[in-house]
Amino acid sequence: MSVIIDPNAGFCFGVVKAIDAAERQLSSSHQLYCLGDIVHNNEEVERLAQMGLTVIDSDRLATLPPTTVLIRAHGEPPATYRTAEARGITLIDATCPIVLALQKRIREGYEQMAAAGGQIAIFGKKGHAEVVGLNGQTGNTAIIVSAPDDIEAIDFHRPLRLYSQTTMSREEYGSLVSNIERRYADLGIEGSDFIAYNTICSRVANRATQLEEFARSVDLVLFVSGVNSSNGHYLYEYSRKVQPSTRMISSPAEIERDWFAGVERIGITGATSTPRWLMEQVKNKIEND
């Protein structure tokens, strides 16, 4: 039996950058606050907690004395920056540059739509930190589309600009765009003003193709991911489509030996929020237990 770690798996550069920023600060201060989990992976959060990283929420931010707070790769809405400034808090802003650029695009789109009597919609998970940050660019007025029925909140008589959370499924976004186009077409109004922007991170979109190749090359895939990772759920489902023998685990402790009966090649992979060291631990457990 051979055990192979997917060479393309591991943190995306946005997460690497945020963790680097945290580690740099912690190496001198040994204490740092972070707004929300730095990455949707409990094991990595725990490792950084041992180094002095304390996770807080926005309520706690509003009560802190002047201190230093890290903004993770998902980004934050403008209200967070206002709160920090009012409280004399120094921010280390590790928002991923791709998310930052998307925030700017949405802000500009919102201004245009406000002038044209239009609407902004965001395809993403309701309550997800990135979506909260994106919606903040619209004064929290965007229509958040998480499920097909959510498009009923759109007024198809008015202009619409649609964006996606960076970690969503390209296929689901494509079918959402088709559904909305159909609804505009059904009204039979000439020159309907609907533009959908493809704002899914290429790192996520390309990961799906790379994962497909990897999943086909093994007999069983162990997909290592935190349960809160939306990118993890998307990629796990993607892997299952091409390799039905795909199992999701969040730590080596969840491995069951029975899964490997008759299996020749085991592949270990994960989400863009899965640390490489965790996949190494999974490999060691399989090989040494």
Active site residues: 130
Answer yes or no: are the C-beta atoms of 242 and 268 closer than 8 Å: no
CA atoms of 218 and 233, how far apart (whole Å): 20
Number of residues binding to ligand SF4, judged by CB under 6 A: 14
CA atoms of 26 and 21, how far apart (whole Å): 9
Q: Which is nearer to ligand SF4, 16 or 62 (CB)?
A: 16
Tell me the residue nearest to ligand SF4 as measured from the CB.
Answer: 14
Answer yes or no: are the C-beta atoms of 199 and 167 closer than 8 Å: no
Q: Which is nearer to ligand SF4, 25 or 167 (CB)?
A: 167
For 94-128, give one letter per residue: b (16+ CB within 10 A) or e.
Answer: bbbebbeebbebbbebbeebeeeebbbbbbbbeeb
Give residues 214-233 in contact with ligand SF4 (rule: CB under 6 A): none
Asked if 197 touches ligand SF4 (CB under 6 A), the answer is no
CA atoms of 129 and 28, how far apart (whole Å): 28
Compute how many other C-beta atoms are within 10 angstroms of the C-beta atom of residue 217.
13
DSSP state of 219: S
Mark residues 90-129: x for contact with ligand SF4 by CB under 6 A, - for none. Answer: ------x-xx------------------------------
Asked if 156 touches ligand SF4 (CB under 6 A), the answer is no
Among 201, 215, 266, 282, binds ligand SF4 (CB under 6 A): 201
Minimum distance from residue 73 beta carbon to ligand SF4 (Å): 4
Q: Which is nearer to ligand SF4, 151 or 200 (CB)?
A: 200
Cα–Cα separations (whole angstroms), residue 137 to 75, 76, 77, 115, 167: 11, 10, 7, 15, 18
Among 6, 9, 10, 14, binds ligand SF4 (CB under 6 A): 14
Q: Kindly give the interhelix angle for 129-136 and 78-86, rounded to the nearest 10 degrees.
A: 80
Minimum distance from residue 52 beta carbon to ligand SF4 (Å): 23
Give residues 28-87 in contact with ligand SF4 (rule: CB under 6 A): 73
The SS3 call for residue 162 is: strand
Among 166, 230, 239, 250, binds ligand SF4 (CB under 6 A): 166
Among 13, 81, 259, 260, binds ligand SF4 (CB under 6 A): 13
Answer yes or no: are the C-beta atoms of 159 and 116 closer than 8 Å: yes
Asked if 169 touches ligand SF4 (CB under 6 A), the answer is no
Binding site for ligand SF4 (CB under 6 A): 12-15, 73, 96, 98-99, 166-167, 201, 203-204, 272
